[in-house]
Each structure stands twice: as structure tokens, then as C-alpha cells.
Amino acid sequence: MNIKRYSCLAALLLCCIGIRAQESAKEPDNQLTLDAQVLARGEIRRGGFSESSEGGGKGNFVVSRTRMSVDYQKPGLELKVTAQHVGVWGQSNGGSFNVFEAFALLKSKQGLFAKIGRQELSYDDERVIGSDDWTMAASSHDVLKLGYEGHGHQVHGILAYNQNGENTNGGTFYKNGAQPYKTMHTLWYHYDIPRFPLGASLLFMNIGTQYGVDEATGETVYQQLIGGYVNFHPRHWNFEGSYYKQMGRDEKKAKLDAWMASAKLQFMPNDRFGFVSGFDYLSGDPYFAVPKPGQIGLTFHETLHGFNPLYGSHHQFYGAMDFFYVSTFVGGFSPGLQNFYVGGNFKPLKQLELDASYHFLSTATKLQGIDMTLGHEFELSASYKFTKDAKVSAGYSFMMGTDTMTRLKRASNDNDLHWLWLTLTVSPRIFQTRW
């Protein structure tokens, strides 16, 4: 009798221990993370951009960015908020403070998801839509993103509608707001072939911008962009190619008919060496007349053929000195760009990486009275990672500009352009807990 009683008690105890062990082994459902970033970059720059009438000289400054992110995750849900401050050291107004990210992400086990709020958008090589992280403010968008990801397929649909205020009685006029567009409708599809090193994407964008000066004269005009991207990466090689066509009308209601194409080839024989070469072509306006200083250009273009790379991370493509597609050309039109480049990287230590590259830059269309060549840009950079949270990087760029560069940019000393920078980045994970 006692033996049976003790046997039942032992079985019950073992059952309770088993249940408790299963509960202990169960993965936590909730995760809370607190991340921070402090980034400071000092720059010494001479030439390349229009200088004041008082004369030139070097531009020296230190700019910084501070971020604090809170991220909460549980099965099927993520909430994230990132506060950001950007400013130049000694700036009188104290710089700018804003919410860089604030979104909610809902997702199902079947691969469907919905992400709403302020968020970064980054697609393919970031040539058309990218985070633009080199600029201290970077880029984020107020959008609703719906999609599916699974079995090698990714489909994203993006919807945005921007206003300066609630405008209950003020109509829908939108200009000089936080975003460069009023509405945006984007569809992106990407497919990775199973067991084969090839991925391809298709992108379609319909962008609405505000035309006019007020509600009475204003209307929304639309431009479209359609194109694709391919990435083929067998073993030590990597090939990237893209093509995009731009049409519709810009914010001044001018008709658009532009295109761009790019090709990039990388060879990485091992983890310490790498080589790269590529070519970018961005179409430009024909019969591009460059007026002399003090004169006004009167060239009329019924259709604009200068390609606009929109919201891409321009810094990583067309020369590190950011002369192109960050600042405008004289007259507001674009002669386009041809960019041929070669480069390489070397990692003598696990924490140390060295890079060098060369760009030959010229316009895409012929110019009246001057040569198409813009210049030759040479770039050196290095980065050293002290710990997983701290990194220092530095770079030096030199451009041998031409008279064409001087005329197009209205800047002096464009045959002797220098840029030196030093950056310290500290990005620790302050706190993380699961329950």
C-alpha cells in the first residue's frame, strides 16, 4: 500500500519537474533593447562648392550626431523609437533635434507584414532609395509599408501622404516640408534563386510633388521611375548592375525623359584583399550652355533629360567629395554624369581596413564651348575598430578639376580640390533584457 502511494507521489513529482523544465526551456517572448550612438566628424575642405564674394579659403568644422533607440519585440510585433540630435560644434541655435524613427511592425508566421510610421527605407544598392547614413541627419520616411517575405520572394508596397499640418480648412498644399515629396507610391519585388548565387529586383515609383505657390494656383504633379537591379555573386566574384527610367513631370511641371545605367564588378580572392571597378552613366540635358560669370543662361529645355537619383545614398557612388547630385549645376539643369572608377581594399589586421580608389568624371552630354571632362578624383580612407562599440575612421580626397568643373560649379581653385576628414563612432548597446 505504502509502495503504491510513494510510487504515485514520485510520478506526480517527476511530472511537475518535467513541466517546470519545459517552462524554463521555453524561449522568452519579450525583448527590450536600448541602443545609443555618438558620432563626431571633423572636416577640412577647400573648393568644389560656390564660394562667397568675400573670397575663398578652407572650410573647417566639426559636426556630430547623437542617437538613442528603444526597441521592443515580441512574436509578431516590434515597436521602435529613435531620437536624434544633429549639429555643428558651436552652432548658435544648438542644432536640430527630431524623432528619426518611430514605427510599429506587425508580422505573421506566413510572411505577411505591415510597418507604419517613420522608418528608414533601403533597397538594393541604395542608388535610388537609401538611408544616406553619411549625412548626419540621414533619411527616414513617414510611410505605410505592406508586404510579404518568404521562399526567396520579397514584395514591398509603400504608401506616403505628407502635409505641413492638420489643414482642416487649409486645403492640401504641401511645400517646404520635412519630405521632398507630397505623395509616394512604391512597389518593390526581389527574388533570390534557390541554390544559385543570383538575385534580381524590380522597382516602380510614382511620386507626387507640389506645383505652384499657394492653394489657389497649386496642383500635384507626378513623375514615375521604373527599373531593375541584379546581383550575381559566385564565390570570389560579385557583379551588380542596374537600369532605371524616369518619366512624367517634375515639381516645376517640366516634362521628364531621363535614364541611368550602372555596372560594378568586384573580385575578393580572400578576406584580406578586394578589388572593384565600375561605370555609371546618368543622362543629361542636351545643348547644355554654360554662361560665363555675370551672365544669365537662356537655354530652354522643353523636356528635361537630366536623371535625378531621388532619395539614394549619393555619397557612396559619384565620388566621396559629393560634388554631384548633392549640389546643383549652374542654371539648375544637369549635363548628366559619366563615372568610371577602380579601387581596392586591404585588411592587414582584423580591426584595420584600408581603401583606395580613383574616379574619372565627365558630363554625359556635350557642352557648348568647353570640354566634357570634369576631373580626376583620388580617394584614400582607413578605419580601425578598437572594440565592438568604438571605431575611428579617416579619409583624404584630392581632385584635379578642369575648367569645366570651375564653370559648372562657379567655384575657384577647382583644379586644386582637397578634403580631409576624421570620424569617431561609438555605438554601444546599453541595456537588453528578455522575459
> What average pLDDT does range 364-389 have in this prediction?
93
Q: Is the pLDDT of residue 288 over 70?
A: no
Predicted confidence (pLDDT) per residue in 309-345, tens digit:
999 999 999 999 988 888 777 666 789 999 999 999 9
**49 CB contacts (<8 Å, ≥6 apart)?**
323, 327, 409, 411
Q: Is the pTM of this model over 0.85?
A: yes
The per-residue pLDDT for range 177-190, each reduced to its tens digit, is 999 999 999 999 99
CB atoms within 10 A of CB 253: 11
Give the pLDDT of residue 408.
79
Taking alpha carbons only, the member of 253, 413, 247, 256 closest to residue 334 is 256
pLDDT band at 217 (very low <50, low <70, confident <90, very high): confident
Domain boundaries, the chain: 103-384+393-417
Weakest-pLDDT range from 53-62, 241-250, 360-369: 53-62
Summary mean pLDDT of the chain: 89
3-state secondary structure of 170: coil
Please report, as a single letter, which amino acid is at residue 310: L
CA dihedral of 13, 19, 23, 24, whole degrees rounded to 10: 40
Tens of pLDDT, residue by residue over 75-89, are: 999 999 999 999 999
393-424 pLDDT, tens digit each: 999 999 998 888 887 775 555 567 889 999 99
pLDDT digits (tens, 9 = 90+) for 88-134: 999 998 899 999 999 999 999 999 999 999 999 999 999 999 999 99
Locate all alpha helices (DSSP H) within 28-160, ordered by sequence.
Answer: none
Domain 103-384+393-417: top CATH class: mainly beta
Whether the per-residue pLDDT at 64 is higher than 60: the answer is: yes
Give the C-alpha separation, 83 to 297, whole Å: 44
Angle at CA of residue 130, ends 75 and 265, nearest 5°: 110
DSSP 311: B
What is the spatial distance between Cα 163 and Cα 207, in angstroms, rounded to a whole number? Answer: 15
Q: What is the DSSP string of 260-303?
A: EEEEEEEE-SSSSEEEEEEEEEE---SSB--PPTT-------SE
Q: Is the pLDDT of residue 48 over 70?
A: no
- pLDDT for 20 equals 47
Provide the pLDDT for residue 17: 46
Taking residues 149-176, report their average pLDDT.
92
SS3 content of the chain, % helix, strand, coil (to 5): 10, 50, 40
Q: How many CA atoms lie within 13 A of 29 on its CB side?
A: 4
